[in-house]
Amino acid sequence: MGKRKENSTNMLNEKSIMECDLTYAVCKVGGRWKLLILCKLENGKLRFSEIRRLIPKITERMLTLQLRELEKDGLVKRTVYAEVPPRVDYELTPIAIELIPIWSKLSDWGARHKKLVK
């Protein structure tokens, strides 16, 4: 989330791995807090501070970083209102909305897997 080295082996490997559409897709939502954030937005727009309240353990820094990446990747849309105190809200983009039915299947799988290991 900081800057990455342009030509580290790590970076080069990542690039080549991302040719796999599946790996690519998972990487897009792979940040620590990203799925949690996206889930909160499933029911509509939320302000920065609202998301923060819904995810108690996230810090402002992390929330900002993850939102910025999601925005850069076209998964959330950020809207700034010219007010004081500032108001900014976030919402899912159409391509992110397409993920929802897949998430729900994955989530069911997750629940099944959890039971299995217990």
Q: Which residues bind DNA (CB under 7 A)?
A: 1-2, 4-5, 8-11, 13, 31-33, 47-49, 58-62, 64-65, 67-68, 78, 80, 84-89
Nearest approach, Cβ of residue 28 and DNA (Å):
12
Tabulate helix, strand, coil % of the chain (nearest 5).
Answer: 60, 10, 30
The sign of the dihedral angle between the CA atoms of 106, 107, 112, 115 is positive
Residue 107 touching its own copies (CB under 8 A) = yes
- Laid out side by side, the sheet with 46-47 consists of 46-47, 87-92, 76-81
Considering beta carbons, is residue 17 or 108 the nearer one to DNA? 17
Considering beta carbons, is residue 84 or 116 the nearer one to DNA? 84
